[in-house]
């Protein structure tokens, strides 16, 4: 399986450019100021995240170079960070970035079935983007919502207590650009014990 964040080759098209937008430039200053003097390089992860958000969800070489320049790090060290964490994408992604948690609690509760549903509805294999660019589907490790397993992250939101039917409905609605219910799909408050059993 190829995860968008796990590629050997960084994308470097001649037409790619990256400069901080005016709005993000002031955010960059605020982020860096959170770190002690001499420790500004610790801002590399939030800055990569900011650059990725500015660049429609992925990082090409010019964007990574800009982050490196901003925190006075070598390009290769910033690339090491960008390739280590699955939250960074080194290829363009679809409108709905589907991250299916496959770690033990979610797997025991059926995450492999959710992956099959995602492949069926989107037409993507794992690590691929659909032809209509609406979906990118990947499997990731624990996203920290194990109490409500199985769960999936779509863009910035969590969808929890899923089963094949509820996940299928969510994906079908996203395919039609309809609104979908976020969070627990069985109405659980936070990680309260389930009351339906
Ligand atoms: S195992 Fe899926 S959120 Fe932790």
Q: How far is the CA of 162 from the centre of ligand 1 (A)?
A: 12
- pLDDT per position as a tens digit, 170-193: 999 999 999 999 999 999 998 898
Mutate to test the pocket of ligand 1, among 149, 152, 184 (most ligand atoms within 8 A of CB): 149
Mutate to test the pocket of ligand 1, among 100, 142, 158 (most ligand atoms within 8 A of CB): 142
pLDDT at 11: 87
Ligand 1 pocket, residues with Cβ under 6 angstroms: 101, 103, 105-106, 142-146, 149, 151
For the entire predicted model, the pTM comes to 0.89
pLDDT band at 105 (very low <50, low <70, confident <90, very high): very high
Q: Nearest Cα to 80, choosing from 66, 63, 64, 69?
A: 64
pLDDT at 193: 86
**What count of other Cβ atoms lies within 10 Å of the Cβ of residue 44?**
20
Mean pLDDT across 117-138: 96
- pLDDT per position as a tens digit, 26-46: 999 999 999 999 999 999 999
Are 56 and 67 in contact by the 8 Å Cβ rule? The answer is: no
How would you label 96-135 residue by residue, b for 16+ Cβ within 10 Å and e otherwise? bbbbbbbbebbbebbbeebbebbeebbebebbbbbeeebb
Are 62 and 12 in contact by the 8 Å Cβ rule? The answer is: yes
Q: What's the CA gap between 88 and 84, in Å, rounded?
A: 8
């Amino acid at each position: 399986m190829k995860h968008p964040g796990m590629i050997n080759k960084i994308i470097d098209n001649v037409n790619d450019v990256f400069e901080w937008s005016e709005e993000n430039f002031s955010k960059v200053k605020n982020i860096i100021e959170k770190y002690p003097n001499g420790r500004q390089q610790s801002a590399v992860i939030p800055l990569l995240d900011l650059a990725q958000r500015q660049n429609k969800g992925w990082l090409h070489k010019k964007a990574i170079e800009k982050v490196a320049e901003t925190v006075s790090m070598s390009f290769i060290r910033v690339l090491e960070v960008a390739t280590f964490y699955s939250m960074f994408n080194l290829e363009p992604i679809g409108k709905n970035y589907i991250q299916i948690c496959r770690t033990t609690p979610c797997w025991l509760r059926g995450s492999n079935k959710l992956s099959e549903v995602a492949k069926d509805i989107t037409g993507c294999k794992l690590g691929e983007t659909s032809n209509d660019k609406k979906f990118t589907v990947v499997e990731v490790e624990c996203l920290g919502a194990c109490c409500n397993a199985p769960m999936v992250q779509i863009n910035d939101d969590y969808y929890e207590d899923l089963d094949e039917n509820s996940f299928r409905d969510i994906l079908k609605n996203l395919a039609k650009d309809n609104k979908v219910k976020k969070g627990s799909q069985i109405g659980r408050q936070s990680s309260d014990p389930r009351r339906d059993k």
